[in-house]
Structure 1
């Protein structure tokens, strides 16, 4: 298993362990959330939730009336109205508390450390990490903690990022390319790197994570605002209805107390969804964090639920990023062991990722002969190799090696061209290996096949995206032949070859003009404009700082197929809101049959027929409805936090399922609940 395979497996194991251990709602979480819930009873905090603010005002009013009236029913209604408000704030407090628990572990990364800052003249001074500013260059060696977010500008090192990502296996960070970004608080395990700091104190990646998981910067999304407006409108309507009922009842000689009318109003307004709405939004972002995805806004989470086009940068996203040697093909007449031996010898001086991959691929133990002079790869010669007494070996681009063979009296067999053409047609890069021995003409031994290696399991994940109705498009700077081959291997629906940053941006805008919601995955600086334009921009954590700043999500695992989880959570968020809204409205029906007959049966006995639950007394009916209205909020908190399970299906099927489960369920549950409560409540003395 490769290091990258090990990383992926380790992360997968960690992620499932993390989710399973933290997703269970227990009594301790409720207890810890109570102080926060009590603080949220402050009207200044509650005004953003108009439904619950109205309930609190009603609770205050019934408290005053109960003091004046001193009736058992008045005090029972008052007590449960206060509990209704408390349960509503408890739901939000529990959701926030789960994020705060994660933030506490992140704060451990912010311990102030010393840093070795390098001045422009090359001198090094030891300073506090708090004194670092963007642009400073620091040296970090094995065993030291990286003092701030930045980019590696010199060297290569393995880095332990487990404190940020949960990943136990180290990752490689090196200068240049798209794996140069490092996060403050992570630890260098080997070698030494020079890091240019990119963040100011208090504005690091970890600072942003802490603020976001605590929910302090969570803004209400357009969908959430629209639903709040709807709930406020329904609340206003029922306020008017209940207010006018007082005078209608008085006119019809069925006088009602304001306590009863307040109870009716609280039971009829959408308190269930009003109490849980904020918790649903917070929990959506929390579920992303538990899957190692940092969402910069709730808006991005919601947008993910509506994504229907996904654009993915090829290099580092669909493929591992560096071309790797996958096979060595000998020409006719040359043994496999011979061509592998000379291919490895020719790569000993090649420090490029491709050269290192050749050395790793060939297991044979090969040592350079005595007196060897290594020939390093250069852009001018396009070859690398070695010169030893009586032996010269070269490896490089086909045209360069062919010319070298001709200069040294050799000829290139026709089979070489066939092998090179076959590798090129498959989207790979051919490197020709040749040798010249003492007294002989140079000759070609074989061809090394370099290719962009597609990440394991990615094709299956793209199949899942297709089942969810999401079209995948690979974007690459490669030529059309190479792009086509990689696209076919990865299983994407389409590709854009030889793409510039402007081309990526134009493609996203074209899709958006067509009414599509576009998500973009990328990791490079050249992906930043597209990540910023996309409705959902998912930057890989292994990518550059520019990419992470441009996106509205950061995948800490750097797994492009994580978008499946992101989309599922986005859809889950929207479906959960819809399901609980449906339930909240449906369960009002039972309350009509409980409270309205209780209010008017004394003056209009014929309304007794509406008492289909056969509730014992008008007073117990009203109190039972109020108690159920409060308890159902607590019962639904786990569902609000966990979310309604999403299954890929059509919108019609989802709507039918929603109505069947939460519409019918919301209709039946209150009839059963209110009846069961009434069996005990009517026994209370004085009621």
Structure 2
């Protein structure tokens, strides 16, 4: 019984079982030449059995062989259906996010008058107005406004994101929800052609193409099938000669020849090849990464160079308060006091770190504000500030704001205050060394600056070291100045860095690497990243990025988590390792089956029948049964993949030969003998 916590659910299991029979159609089965030869041989054997029934020449061995040959094809179909079913299960969850909503269509951005239409009626370049609490009716670009958006229906992440017009955060996806403020959105997709529709299509495998390695391996398997077919044909006259010499009626009739042929050709890897390719894409889907083709997954396994963005990839992205810089009129403690007070209601990692720093430096702890009237001013995507207003008996005694430079400057000037040149100079100095300046103001004056510093993620140095062992060089891309970039690169353990990176510089570096014969992976989210994403062998676009970036990449990360690039590489490596391991096992398995059963089939070789198989009939049937059963036994390995370990190519090859090659040789001897013991008491 298949449990829900197994590698496939009950629903996927039963659907795959049904699909296995649908895939018996010639149109489906002839996509795999090796299994097509088994299917065709089974059909011919069925016709022969039918003919023998009419002539009273029926042999039960022929029927048993036919049953297990059909099961061989069904098991191969089942492996492919399971891989497809696991991907479609993810597609079904995405389909639930699609729903027809009422859209407020306007003539132009900024219009207050709108007409309500169904989202299904929206066409390319329509402008819609979406307010807080409403769902975004279709894929588009924000042309006016700024708001926080809940994208959990698409990404599974609960934290809202900011979307605004212009820049690299303007793309929105249909089915997500506006939480605050408002947006005017220009629709960028036609009905049925939305980003979500395309992703569902990709997940369901409709657009999956075979990778170059799959095609090459398919050609090799087809060639081996043809050559092994010829080799088995030569056994027919040999068996007739032996039968005459020893005076027996044993001969290599069609069912025996067909069984030998199927046991010799590489049915195991041929049956699982498609499942391995599909499962590579499916494993990416589990990380919320969608590959536009199997080729992209495979390329990820062969890359030599990784280009990684600094913020969010090398660093945490959530900055940490490191220092208080007061202006001339105030002390550091006074700045820390105001900064801590304005951060008490700020639940962001940055806000909490400010409270911690004030406590560590000056023992400033949360104070009792019960005797005051306190108005907390939450951060708004529109004004980019937060703060607190404290009143006592109706009188405003403290009015503190904390936020970005441009936001605080605008606020101070609106209050009639002035923005000191010294503050601007210090903020620029902090920014130049890779940190972020946050200003604190009270009433009409600037108290000082809080320095927020990017924190390099823990454990990255070890992960980059593992990639280095596999021959993959890591390159950090950042807009920081060279000194800051060098410091972070050294701390993170990357092999190289590109400072003050421009779109032209990124593209130039990728072309340079490719010119030297290397495969390059790139990650990006902005329009300025699109050329590099399109040029790279593996281009991973962030779902939160621009439409241009998403179209340029051959992978899309729905979670917009750049650090997953490392997992993408590992899955690509895992796919190649799995295919290599199962190919090694399949070839060794085929050779072993022949050495196991040939001595039992031909009398002159009886001295080599070390396994003491009961009879020629039980030997051939045991081999056919084993050949069929090994396919479903290996489905979990094909779907889950060989365990990834950062090793060199030589080490991986040695492991494949020892573990899977050795296992492929030993397992048939054990399996065929056990099956022979089970069936030897029966009448064949």
Length-normalised TM-score, structure 2: 0.84
Say yes or no: does 1:479 pair with 2:519: no
Q: Which of 313, 316, 319 is the aligned partner of 2:309? A: 313
Gaps of 5+ in 1: 1-19, 402-416
Q: In structure 1, what is the Cα distance between the partners aligned to 2:222 and 2:524?
A: 41
The aligned counterpart of 1:134 is 124
Distance 1:396 1:512, change over 3 A: farther
Task: Using the TM superposition, give the Cα deviation of residue 279 of structure 1 relative to its aligned residue in structure 2, in angstroms.
Answer: 0.5
Distance 1:433 1:674, change over 3 A: closer
SS in 2 for 1:646: coil
Q: In structure 2, what is the Cα distance between the partners aligned to 1:370 and 1:165?
A: 44
Q: In structure 2, what is the Cα distance between the partners aligned to 1:269 and 1:547?
A: 45
Task: Using the TM superposition, give the Cα deviation of residue 341 of structure 1 relative to its aligned residue in structure 2, in angstroms.
Answer: 6.6
SS in 1 for 2:163: strand
Most deviating of 448-457 and 659-668: 448-457
The aligned counterpart of 1:40 is 23
The aligned counterpart of 2:252 is 256
The aligned counterpart of 1:335 is 331
Q: CA RMSD in A?
A: 3.7
Q: Which of 537, 543, 551 is the aligned partner of 2:553? A: 551
Q: Which of 417, 422, 425 is the aligned partner of 1:398? A: 422
Q: In structure 2, what is the Cα distance between the partners aligned to 1:33 and 1:106?
A: 20
Task: Using the TM superposition, give the Cα deviation of residue 455 of structure 1 relative to its aligned residue in structure 2, in angstroms.
Answer: 6.2
Tell whether the 8 Å contact from 1:372 to 1:386 is kept in structure 2 after alignment.
no
Q: In structure 1, what is the Cα distance between the partners aligned to 2:660 and 2:315?
A: 43
The aligned counterpart of 1:5 is none
Tell whether the 8 Å contact from 2:83 to 2:275 is kept in structure 1 after alignment.
yes
The aligned counterpart of 1:74 is 62
Cα deviations across residues 287-308 of structure 1 (Å, max 9, x unaligned)?
1001110111100000111122
The aligned counterpart of 2:435 is 428
Task: Using the TM superposition, give the Cα deviation of residue 374 of structure 1 relative to its aligned residue in structure 2, in angstroms.
Answer: 11
Q: Which of 76, 85, 94 is the aligned partner of 1:97? A: 85
Task: Using the TM superposition, give the Cα deviation of residue 248 of structure 1 relative to its aligned residue in structure 2, in angstroms.
Answer: 3.7
The aligned counterpart of 2:496 is 494
The aligned counterpart of 2:189 is 199
Q: Which of 242, 248, 273 is the aligned partner of 1:277? A: 273
The aligned counterpart of 2:104 is 116
Task: Using the TM superposition, give the Cα deviation of residue 593 of structure 1 relative to its aligned residue in structure 2, in angstroms.
Answer: 2.8
Q: In structure 1, what is the Cα distance between the partners aligned to 2:659 and 2:404?
A: 66
Q: In structure 2, what is the Cα distance between the partners aligned to 1:215 and 1:249?
A: 47
Aligned pairs (5 A) from 1:502-651:
502-601=504-603, 604=604, 607-651=605-649
Q: Which of 669, 672, 676 is the aligned partner of 1:671? A: 669
Task: Using the TM superposition, give the Cα deviation of residue 541 of structure 1 relative to its aligned residue in structure 2, in angstroms.
Answer: 1.5
Task: Using the TM superposition, give the Cα deviation of residue 59 of structure 1 relative to its aligned residue in structure 2, in angstroms.
Answer: 0.7
Most deviating of 156-165 and 288-297: 156-165
Task: Using the TM superposition, give the Cα deviation of residue 73 of structure 1 relative to its aligned residue in structure 2, in angstroms.
Answer: 0.6
The aligned counterpart of 1:228 is 218
Task: Using the TM superposition, give the Cα deviation of residue 183 of structure 1 relative to its aligned residue in structure 2, in angstroms.
Answer: 1.2
Cα deviations across residues 215-259 of structure 1 (Å, max 9, x unaligned)?
121111101001101100110001111223223433554642111
Tell whether the 8 Å contact from 1:382 to 1:397 is kept in structure 2 after alignment.
no
Length-normalised TM-score, structure 1: 0.83
Most deviating of 126-135 and 465-474: 465-474
Distance 1:592 1:498, change over 3 A: same
Gaps of 5+ in 2: 245-250, 344-375
Task: Using the TM superposition, give the Cα deviation of residue 470 of structure 1 relative to its aligned residue in structure 2, in angstroms.
Answer: 2.6
Tell whether the 8 Å contact from 1:116 to 1:126 is kept in structure 2 after alignment.
yes
Q: In structure 2, what is the Cα distance between the partners aligned to 1:355 and 1:490?
A: 34
Q: In structure 1, what is the Cα distance between the partners aligned to 2:97 and 2:398?
A: 51
Q: In structure 2, what is the Cα distance between the partners aligned to 1:485 and 1:146?
A: 42
Number of aligned pairs?
Answer: 635
Q: In structure 1, what is the Cα distance between the partners aligned to 2:584 and 2:391?
A: 71
Tell whether the 8 Å contact from 1:133 to 1:199 is kept in structure 2 after alignment.
yes
The aligned counterpart of 1:30 is 13
Tell whether the 8 Å contact from 2:476 to 2:497 is kept in structure 1 after alignment.
yes
Task: Using the TM superposition, give the Cα deviation of residue 309 of structure 1 relative to its aligned residue in structure 2, in angstroms.
Answer: 1.0
Cα deviations across residues 403-433 of structure 1 (Å, max 9, x unaligned)?
xxxxxxxxxxxxxx8x986x46743366898
SS in 2 for 1:554: strand
Distance 1:23 1:553, change over 3 A: farther
Task: Using the TM superposition, give the Cα deviation of residue 488 of structure 1 relative to its aligned residue in structure 2, in angstroms.
Answer: 4.0
Task: Using the TM superposition, give the Cα deviation of residue 498 of structure 1 relative to its aligned residue in structure 2, in angstroms.
Answer: 2.4
Distance 1:572 1:374, change over 3 A: closer
The aligned counterpart of 1:267 is 263
Q: In structure 1, what is the Cα distance between the partners aligned to 2:142 and 2:440?
A: 34
Most deviating of 636-645 and 103-112: 103-112
Distance 1:133 1:397, change over 3 A: farther
Aligned pairs (5 A) from 1:134-213:
134-213=124-203
Q: In structure 1, what is the Cα distance between the partners aligned to 2:91 and 2:443?
A: 63
Aligned pairs (5 A) from 1:333-412:
334-340=330-336, 356=384, 359=386, 385=412, 394-395=418-419, 398=422
Distance 1:189 1:680, change over 3 A: same
Q: In structure 2, what is the Cα distance between the partners aligned to 1:455 and 1:644?
A: 28
SS in 2 for 1:674: helix
Q: Which of 652, 655, 659 is the aligned partner of 1:654? A: 652
Q: In structure 2, what is the Cα distance between the partners aligned to 1:149 and 1:30?
A: 34
Q: In structure 2, what is the Cα distance between the partners aligned to 1:482 and 1:394?
A: 31
Q: In structure 2, what is the Cα distance between the partners aligned to 1:91 and 1:633?
A: 8
Distance 1:446 1:44, change over 3 A: closer
Task: Using the TM superposition, give the Cα deviation of residue 270 of structure 1 relative to its aligned residue in structure 2, in angstroms.
Answer: 0.3
Most deviating of 372-381 and 549-558: 372-381
